[in-house]
Structure 1
Amino acid sequence: MLSLYRPGHSVLHRLPAGPKMLVLAVAAIALAALPTAAGAAAVCAGAVLLAYVVPGVGLRELGRQVWGLRWIFAVTAIGQLLFLGPEPALANTARVTAAVLVAALVPLTTRVDDLLDALERGLGPLRRIGMDTERAALLLAVTITTIPVLARLAAEVREAQRARGVRPSLRAGLVPFTVLSLRHADQLGEALAARGVR
């Protein structure tokens, strides 16, 4: 499995995977639940800065995450502007952006093996009703790590278009993005099959 883990010695890196996921999930939900007001944007920006700077993950990594997800944020903002107006659009986009960036700290500061173990332990009680917790944990871990990968692939497609002198566009980038995504899925499938996952 492709890992997004960045080695480090921050507080988040040292925190066990289970408590870390719980803390970051609560933080992301709290940010997403902020009242719709312009002040929510400032709260979200401050929370994200603290989440990346205080534990030592760094502003460079924050910038990389924002750049990789910029189109998702742009689409969110445009949709909100069209239907709700400027102030709610600012607040709602800030809440979504903050929640995504805080959630991104999980795969950045947690090894995939630790993530799988924590998810499997957390889903343990569901074994009583017949759930295969190993497969469920694997599915969740793959989902968590795949979203930023797809964002990175989209950025690579746009950069390749610029390098060829082509103006980046959704229509021109759709086919190469689909090919790269399918190639990533094949590599992921082969890696899982090599580990005995069917």
Structure 2
Amino acid sequence: MISLYRPGEGLLHRLPAGAKLLGLAAAALVVSLLPLGVIGTAVLLSAVSLLYPLSGLGWRLLGGAWWRLRGLILVLGAALWLFVGPDTAVQNTGRVIALILLAELVTRTTRMGDLLDVLQSVLQPLRLLGVDPATAALAISLTIAMVPVLAGFVQQVRDAQRARGVRMGPRVGLPLLVLTMKHADDVGDALAARGLAR
């Protein structure tokens, strides 16, 4: 499935796709540049989490999003803790998690067609450079939609490893790669069937 859109009547569902994309880009810039500190990171993650119930997606979807990210939090947090120290680890892991949650929020509250229309109009100037705006828009929208999909794949691999009694570690890479490549093939087949890819 290419789209993770969930129909709803929340505030974010009613916002235009362009405003949501602009907000996501601005949030990525602000979150990347501002020194947050541990308390600021906690406030950021709380604010992003509150957007889920406020947008009408509910606490259950928020809980599922956090649950899927737990492996990434552990691996990324532990690696950063080891190499750069606890405060920086908390801040940088928090930044990544906040942006992933925001990207999922955009994909859950925006129809893929609306996203494509906005991106295509924004990317029109690239036509002067020989870039097809429709193709570039499709690539960007699929990339945004892929963020929560990859988080779900990590969860599937972790569940499968746990069922076999295998601890989470470097062995997650190969199964994750296989799942991602299979998904890419499925998306490519779906696009080709609709005449959107060759």
Q: Whole-Å Cα distance in 2 between the matches of residues 171 and 87 of structure 1?
A: 25
Which residue of structure 1 aligns with residue 6 of structure 2?
Answer: 6
Q: Whole-Å Cα distance in 2 between the matches of residues 79 and 194 of structure 1?
A: 42
TM-score norm. by structure 2 comes to: 0.88
Give the letter for the 1:94 counterpart. Answer: G
Displacement of 1:183 in angstroms is 2.1
1:4-33 per-position Cα deviation (integer Å, ceiling 9, x unaligned): 111211111111111111122212322232
**Structure 2 unmatched ranges of 5 or more:** none
Which residue of structure 1 aligns with residue 21 of structure 2?
Answer: 21
Give runs of aligned pairs for residues 1-198 of structure 1, distance below 5 A: 2-163=2-163, 165-170=164-169, 173-196=172-195, 197-198=197-198
* Equivalent residues of 2:77, 2:89 under 8 A apart: yes
1:155-194 per-position Cα deviation (integer Å, ceiling 9, x unaligned): 123223334x422434555444333323212211111111
Q: Whole-Å Cα distance in 2 between the matches of residues 113 and 21 of structure 1?
A: 13
- 3-state SS of paired residue (1:9): coil
TM-score norm. by structure 1 comes to: 0.88
* Equivalent residues of 1:10, 1:55 under 8 A apart: yes
RMSD: 2.0
Residues 87 and 13 (structure 1), Cα distance of their counterparts in 2 relative to 1, 3 Å cut: same
Give the letter for the 1:166 counterpart. Answer: G
Q: Using the aligned pairs only, state the percent identity.
A: 48
Q: Whole-Å Cα distance in 1 between the matches of residues 30 and 22 of structure 2?
A: 12
Give the letter for the 2:188 counterpart. Answer: G
Residues 175 and 80 (structure 1), Cα distance of their counterparts in 2 relative to 1, 3 Å cut: closer
Task: Could you list the structure 1 runs, at least 4 aligned residues long, displaced by more than 6 angstroms after superposition.
Answer: none
